[in-house]
Amino acid sequence: MEIACTDLTHVLRSERRFKYTGYSKSFHMPGRDKHIKRRWNFGGHDWEIRVYPHGGEPSAPSWVAINVVLLSECAVAVVTTIRGCLVDPEGVREPSEEICQSVAFRKPQDKSSQMLLMPWYTLNKSRYLKDDSFIVQCTLEVLKELPDIPEPEVHVPLPTSNLHQHFAELLQSQMGADVTFLVSGESFAAHKYILAVRSRVFKAAFLGDMIERGSECVEIKDMEAVVFKALLHFIYTDTVLEFEQQEGAEAMITDTVPESGQRDEAHEQAASVMALAQHLLAAADRYGLDRLKLICASKLYDGIKVDTAATTLALAEQYNCWELQKRCADFITKTYARNSSLDAVAATEGTSGRD
């Protein structure tokens, strides 16, 4: 006899990452319970994730810790499993040991106990701390009662793709590399077939009749090492690490006004990323990487300012980025119409970004 089984509950799962920048400054933050918080809407409820850079409880002052607070009303207890760990900013190393806690939230301001992720003296010596920043990964799993419907469909969440992480590890390890590039005094090991698959220019060089076909060492002229490094990273992972790091910094969880030093550091980072985008646009055009070219154009599109408009316009014209060209022209026109100093725009023309 066939026996039917009906599901009564379902688990909803959401995972987010939060970047904490300025870790060294957190030791000077006043108050033992100082934390940074970020709201999170999930499973029909409002939550708050709190990140403690050096602990919030007297028993654990030297740990990076998190906890979760329920902000919204609930008719019944919200049974939730919380998972937390630190992740490698470069996506190469496995996440730290995952800390897990199950909590039944019954009313607003109910909170979990602090989850101790890693002591600061271990974090300081680990690869999870990079550029004075670390990334916390938090997962919420909420137990939901299913409505009374026949044979409810259960969706099993698929794991996120980590193919790009494996290729990033391959590039970093240099395992099986068969070509070395010399760029501005630095060397970069890579794999000819991966380059050929991703770039028609490299395909012609390594699989065609060009002199590089049998070469184990290739010199790249007229390009900075940092630009070629970003180019290689994109070829292997389809991402620009510096762009992602800047976006993470802009979305950094904070409930206070940043200090002037932090603002200056953020402005310097933004200027550095914009300069990289200008040079990387030229490199993408040079090696036939159309997707990278569009990514760089989009980054420049969103970052047009008085001191970059003229240079970006020149690059857009040179590399046939029509939307970017129109955006620059509109920006310069509007700046002039607002009686702003058009000389400030013109004075920057040709000073940076040309490859």
User: Residue 211's domain is classified under what CATH number?
Assistant: 3.30.710.10
Whether 54 maps to a domain, the answer reads yes
Residue reference for tokens 């220019």: 201
84's enclosing H/E stretch is strand 78-87
Count of structural domains within the chain: 2
222 and 285 part of one domain: yes
Same domain, 182 and 119: no
Q: Are 19 and 51 in contact (CB under 8 A)?
A: no
Return the pLDDT at 259. Answer: 62
**What is the SS3 assignment for 58?**
coil
In a domain, 157, yes or no: no
Q: What is the mean pLDDT of the chain?
A: 83
pLDDT category of residue 23 using cuts at 50, 70 and 90: confident
What tens digit of pLDDT does each residue of 50-72 get?
998 876 566 666 788 999 999 99
Range of the domain at 86: 9-145
CATH of the domain at 55: 2.60.210.10
> For the CA atoms of 177, 179, 180, 183, what is the dihedral angle to 10 degrees?
-130
The CA distance from 125 to 134, in Å, is: 12
Based on the domain organization, do 134 and 168 belong to the same domain? no
Is there a single domain that holds both residue 92 and residue 177?
Answer: no
- pLDDT per position as a tens digit, 100-132: 999 999 999 999 998 999 988 888 888 899 988
Please tell me whether residues 250 and 128 are part of one structural domain. no
Residue 309 has pLDDT above 90, yes or no: no
For position 342, what pLDDT does the model report? 53
Q: What is the pLDDT of residue 246?
A: 78
Amino acid at 107: K
pLDDT score of 154? 72
Q: Which of 77, 110, 145 is the last residue of a domain?
A: 145
Q: Which of 238, 245, 223, 110 is nearest to 166 (CA)?
A: 238
The confidence score (pLDDT) of residue 192 equals 94
CB neighbours of 49 closer than 8 A, spacing ≥ 6? 16, 18, 37, 38, 40, 66, 68, 138, 253
Is residue 234 pLDDT above 70, yes or no? yes
Q: Are residues 108 and 212 in the same domain?
A: no
What is the token pair recorded at 330? 């509109």
